[in-house]
Amino acid sequence: MRVIIKRLMIKKLDDIVIIEKAKNGKINISYDLERETNIYNFLRLNGFCTSKLDNKRIYYQRKNKEIKDVSITDIRFFFINYLREKTFEKTESTDYSEEVLDWFLKKQRIHRNKLLIKCLQDDLSENEIHHYKLKTNLTYKSKYENKKIIEKLKEFSFKKCSDLTTNNNLLYYKKIKKDKYLIIVHFNHKDVCNSVFDCKISKYNYENEIGKKLPIEENNIILNFTLNDITSIEKYI
């Protein structure tokens, strides 16, 4: 029985394909379970993984302590490019490197099957799941960032009210001068993926007018205010 690959490189073509030459000179290329396993183990050792997240099969690559979202197509391209660039150890099979590459190109040989899942199976930590979702799930990212912005505003003692002068946007405000207020407007707060924050300084005669009347004057400070802008407003408060 052949040795299953446990290294980052494929040294010989014989590790991944069976090449048979007929009497008429025709070349027949195939692989068996062992060689298919070799391919998938090679991919796993190069950081490619799979896991179930929210009842969905996901694929990703672990590289330099980071997790990169990939598709099965990305995995196939990686393998094909490896075959294109790799110089294999000299054996009888090496003479057919181009034919082997063509064989992998003509038909998908890396299958999304139970064997692939078994070889690439991986577990994500809670922290890794969080960061993966921040990169790949817009709803999750928006909910998280909105929550963090609101938590920070509460920490800074901002008050909250509905803006009755508009479509019931939410206003977070804090008095910074006698008649001036730092106001964070939360537009579309019920539509997580389309909600936006704007930061402005507004002038009112009285605090109880906020949300009920339009300001006497206002100046935009930061439009499309994000979590990264939180530190920018500290100088006003």
Domain boundaries, the chain: 13-136, 153-236
Longest alpha-carbon distance in the chain: 98
Q: Between vectors from CA 109 to CA 108 and to CA 115, what angle results, nearest 5°?
A: 125
pLDDT of the residue at 85: 87
Positions of the chain with pLDDT lower than 70, given as ranges? 1-8
Q: How many CB atoms lie within 10 A of CB 46?
A: 16
Its sign, for the CA torsion 216, 173, 211, 165, is: positive
pLDDT of the residue at 87: 80
How far, in Å, CA of 144 to CA of 138, rounded?
10
Q: Alpha helices of 17-164 — where are they, by DSSP H?
A: 33-45, 72-85, 97-106, 114-120, 126-136, 138-155
How far, in Å, CA of 149 to CA of 197, rounded?
9
Q: Which two tokens stand for residue 9?
A: 């490189």
Count Cβ atoms within 10 A of the Cβ of residue 129 and give its class: 0-12 exposed, 13-18 middle, 19 or more buried: middle
Q: Supply the DSSP symbol for 172.
A: E
pLDDT of the residue at 86: 81
Helix 72-85 to helix 33-45 angle, to the nearest 10 degrees?
100
How far, in Å, CA of 19 to CA of 132, rounded?
41
How many helices, marked H, and strands, marked E, lie in the chain? 6, 10
Query: In a 3-state reduction of DSSP, which class is residue 161?
Result: strand
Phi and psi (nearest 5°) for 88?
Answer: -90, 160
Are 70 and 46 in contact, with CB atoms under 8 Å apart?
Answer: no
